[in-house]
């Protein structure tokens, strides 16, 4: 019986030594699964990333879109060429109210569509901080544009020229805003 007790105690001691030896192994084996791979990815990125903190901040804080300015200036110029080629343009220039209403309505619609395209690209590519500032500025601009159009229309209230005056202001303001956004937020 004494021999059996010695064997059991010896087995317990050997088991304890085995457990202690296993837990004192390589540090890598003590990390949770996935942490080793994660750390390796971070280390690799640090080795490959030789940019400064300022460059990283600039990359994150995008204030201008590179290489798109000329493309959009040409698009905007082409809109005006299309508008100038419309049949109602000559009647509009001659002062025919219905032609003016049609021409300036189409003109506004085309530049408004271009403005929405420009704004969508800016929203996609500019940093959130820059976009937040632009959004605030854009809301103010929209309010001002509508106020100006209302004032112009009010001068001819009840007359046939009321809607022409309204559309002329919307067209001119929106066209100018398109060029302004392209020139301010895009580079060649």
Residue-wise pLDDT tens digits, 151-182: 999 999 999 999 999 999 999 999 999 999 99
Percentage of the chain surpassing pLDDT 70? 68
How big is the CA angle at 71 (ends 81 and 176), to the nearest 5 degrees?
60
Give the pLDDT confidence of 85-138 residue by residue, as tens digits: 999 999 999 999 999 999 999 999 999 999 999 999 999 999 999 999 999 999
CB–CB of 162/153 below 8 Å?
yes
pTM, 2 dp: 0.67
Number of H helices, E strands in the chain: 8, 0
Alpha-carbon distance 110 to 120, whole Å? 16
Q: List the domain boundaries for the chain.
A: 2-45, 64-185
Average pLDDT, the chain: 79
Q: How confident is the model at residue 28 (pLDDT cuts 50, 70, 90)?
A: very low
Asked if residue 144 has pLDDT above 50, the reply is: yes
CB–CB of 118/79 below 8 Å?
no
Asked if residue 63 has pLDDT above 90, the reply is: no
Asked if residue 54 has pLDDT above 90, the reply is: no
Three-class DSSP category at 160: coil
Encode 90-124: b = buried (16+ Cβ within 10 Å), e = exposed: ebbeeeeeebbbbbbbbbbebbbebbeebbebbee
Alpha-carbon distance 161 to 79, whole Å? 24
């Amino acid at each position: 019986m004494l021999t059996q007790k010695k064997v059991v105690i010896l087995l317990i001691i050997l088991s304890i030594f085995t457990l202690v030896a296993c837990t004192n192994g390589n540090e890598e084996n003590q990390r949770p699964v996935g942490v080793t791979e994660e750390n390796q990815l971070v280390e690799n990125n640090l080795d490959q990333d030789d940019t400064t903190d300022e460059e990283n901040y600039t990359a994150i804080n995008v204030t201008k879109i590179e290489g798109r300015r000329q493309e959009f200036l040409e698009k905007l110029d082409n809109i005006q060429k299309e508008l100038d080629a419309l049949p109602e343009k000559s009647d509009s220039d001659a002062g025919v109210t219905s032609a003016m209403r049609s021409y300036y309505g189409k003109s506004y619609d085309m530049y408004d569509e271009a403005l929405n395209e420009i704004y969508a690209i800016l929203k996609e590519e500019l940093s959130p901080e820059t976009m937040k500032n632009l959004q605030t500025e854009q809301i103010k601009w929209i309010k001002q544009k509508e106020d100006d159009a209302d004032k112009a229309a009010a001068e001819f209230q009840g007359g046939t020229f009321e809607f022409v005056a309204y559309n002329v202001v919307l067209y001119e303001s929106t066209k100018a805003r398109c060029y302004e956004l392209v020139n301010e937020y895009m580079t060649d």
